[in-house]
């Protein structure tokens, strides 16, 4: 496999890419594939829609949206813990993020 494009992707998207080339994976790529099998949370297409909606609706950067989609937090507390102390985000923005996530959780 060669690098075609460099951008943050969700665990689900990584799983899809790796499974398309399963026979050609080197040992490190196989370990990454094992990780994706254990920790993917949703369909790759749904994960990408979630990331795009988080970016467009809330204005957060794509890398952060991917991390949120991978962790799928269920409360403001979980979201705060996930974001860390370096990020100060308004309560209404966090509620908006959780509302978007909840929409994808129920689909």
Describe the crossing of helices 11-20 and 44-58 by its angle, rounded to 10 degrees. 140
Given the structure tokens 């297409």, which residue do they identify?
Answer: 45
* Chain centroid, CA 31 distance in Å: 19
The pLDDT value recorded for residue 86 is 58
pLDDT tens per residue, range 46-66: 999 999 999 999 988 899 899
pTM, to two decimals: 0.83
- The pLDDT mean for the chain works out to 87
44-105, CATH topology level: DNA polymerase; domain 1 (1.10.150)
The pLDDT value recorded for residue 28 is 93
């Amino acid at each position: 496999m060669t690098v075609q494009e460099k951008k943050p992707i969700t665990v689900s998207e990584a799983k899809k890419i790796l499974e398309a080339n399963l026979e050609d994976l080197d040992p490190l790529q196989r370990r990454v594939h094992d990780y994706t099998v254990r920790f993917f949370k949703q369909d790759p297409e749904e994960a990408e829609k979630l990331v795009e909606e988080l970016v467009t609706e809330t204005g957060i950067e794509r890398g952060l949206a991917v991390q949120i989609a991978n962790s799928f937090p269920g409360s403001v507390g979980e979201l705060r813990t996930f974001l860390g102390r370096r990020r100060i985000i308004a309560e209404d923005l966090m509620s908006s993020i959780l509302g978007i996530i909840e929409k994808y959780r129920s689909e």
